A = this chain, B = another copy of it.
Amino acid sequence: MPRKTPSGLTLLVSIDPDSPEPLYRQVYQEIREAILRGRVAPGTRLPSTRTLAAELNVSRNTILTAFEHLWAEGYLEGKVGSGTRVSRELPDELLQVGAQATPVRPLLSRTPSISRRALVVAEAPFHLSSVSGPPRPFQVGLPAVREFPLDLWRRLAARRWRRSASELLNYGVSAGYRPLREVIASYLGSSRGVKCTADQVLIVAGSQHALDLAARVLLNPGDAVWMEDPGYHAARGAFIAAEAQIHPVPLDREGFDLTMALERAPEARLAYVTPSHQFPVGVTMSLRRRLELLQWASRSSGWILEDDYDSEFRYVSRPISALQGLDEDGRVIYTGTFSKVLFPSLRLGYLVVPDEVVDAFTAMLVFASTQAPTIEQAILTDFIAEGHFERHIRRMRSLYHERQEALIATVNQEVKGLLEVRAAEAGMHLTAWLPPGIDDTAASEWVAEAGVSAMPLSAFAVEPPERGGLVLGYAGFTAYEVRTAGRRLGSALRSALAGGGVRGGHVCSQSAG
């Protein structure tokens, strides 16, 4: 039960011995509130700590501690324990304001006065929330985390903590842990045809960090950016946050089309592309288009941001070399992530930047950003240097290939005529095409009701795609899970489309709208 004190000032002090809050803290807070709300005038003399302690039935130490606190913060003056008064230095108007301010929540209508870029981000036409809850087929971007060699990683982690933790606890080098930058440069050179030295490699905290950093270093507000459409919506998020103007460029079977791009925004400063395996449609950018784009960049001092997000998983031929390897003019910023190859919560990625802008990127990283934890970088270094990384990629490549085949077989069997899939040469997802005229957002909602996650292609598009589709991630799910979910997806689609007039009408009006 709360106790009140009978003495003058202390009528205002009420404490609750059953509260988890320490008693001294309660006394402190109550007296502070009384002062701030103007219920005790400046200059008022406080009762002695002994009197207060007796009245509140707490130890004198409790009161002394509370007074010390109030004194240290300027609410009280004079010597604690004898002649303590409410500070006279507190200007009256401040205290009156304090008294007026009622502890209600600020009104929502009041402008919180945030920045223009924050408003643009808050009002973006799409969300980028993280997946929560257990993974559901066919969520996009989830690797097979259950297949990750956790025991091995744990062992490497324990060794690092044992052997070299003390040197890894202090601030690290801005651009990233040097040995990691070296193994990445060497891996990218041999596996992806990227031409770089370790000096050009910057370690970042995942893919979004890389895209953001590139946007901030390369783009002014209002600068035009070309994006493949449909394309990677999180990259769009980074460009929106940089207040760039995004110009969608439709894809054809050779991928990103420079001619079309120049028609739409001849003044563009940057092209964002996923040449190895276009996200989400999957087309590989042709050599001719690559060379055209590089020529544009050289001619106009434009930038190419090459996002090589999942090219490790190529099934039908060897991985296609990176566009960066063809660049002789320092116009390509290359980025990749370990979230997809290892596990998403690792939050480690890299940028490879031309020599000329290494300093600008590093300065931005230090001034306006963050570094990844050194110890994780060190563990990853060992994982790569000791061959586990390539081994894991090989294992996942064959596993994902099997899972893709299971998905294609299931779709062809269970969703025949309603979804058209072709084998993808690479990656962790497929785009399955809906019959013309069927709205993919509606289709996504129908299958969601059946417990299946299938992102509509239009969620990745700036301009409504000519033909709707569902983007199906398969890498994170076993063949059994893929088949079960495929059957559920099939029956949900069939019953929705067979539902006749109302739903069919709904679909048509949606896709027309």
Contact = CB atoms under 8 A, between A and B. Distances in A.
A132 B69 contact: no
A208 B170 contact: no
Contact of A158 (B112, B158, B269, B354): B158
Given A132-B173, A170-B145, A321 B360 contact: no
Interface string A282-326: 000011100110010010011100000000000001101100001
A504 interface: no
Contacts of A466: none
A170 B345 contact: yes
A81 interface: no
A119 B91 CA distance: 45
How big is chain A's contact interface, by range?
35 or more
A320 B130 contact: no
6 contacts: A101-B328, A106-B329, A114-B360, A115-B219, A121-B360, A205-B371
Interface string A13-27: 000000001100100
Contact of A91 (B98, B148, B288): B288
A116 B153 CA distance: 42
Interface string A391-412: 0000000000000000000000
B217 A69 contact: no
A329 B116 contact: no
A179 interface: no
B94 A345 contact: no
Contacts of A153: 161
B170 A363 contact: no
A347 B321 contact: no
A386 to B, nearest CB: 17
Contacts of A502: none
A375 interface: yes
Given A124-B367, A148-B169, A170-B142, A112 B356 contact: yes
Given A68-B317, A101-B329, A106-B330, 6 more contacts: A101-B328, A112-B301, A116-B220, A208-B366, A212-B368, A215-B368
Contacts of A287: 73-75, 87, 89-90
Interface string A367-401: 11111111110000000000000000000000000
Contacts of A318: 65, 68-69, 72
A343 interface: yes
A157 interface: yes
Contacts of A221: 221
Interface string A204-219: 1110110010011111
Nearest to A286: B74
Interface in A90-136: 90-91, 94, 97-98, 101, 103, 105-106, 108, 110-119, 121-122, 124, 128-132, 135
A363 B209 contact: no
Contacts of A22: 190
A435 to B, nearest CB: 32
A449 interface: no
Contacts of A442: none
A169 B43 CA distance: 59
Contacts of A364: 117-118, 121, 241
B171 A130 contact: yes
A146 interface: yes
Contacts of A208: 366-370
A375 B345 contact: yes
A321 to B, nearest CB: 6
A242 interface: yes
A357 B21 contact: no
A513 to B, nearest CB: 27
A142 B171 CA distance: 8
Nearest to A123: B363
A418 to B, nearest CB: 30
Given A73-B320, A208-B370, A212-B369, A345 B90 contact: no
Nearest to A291: B94
A468 interface: no
A12 B165 CA distance: 51
A130 B174 contact: yes
A16 to B, nearest CB: 15
A343 B169 contact: yes
Q: Can you list the 10 inter-chain pairs with the closest CB atoms, starting with the nearest?
A: A74-B287, A241-B368, A237-B367, A209-B370, A169-B343, A345-B374, A205-B370, A145-B169, A72-B317, A94-B291
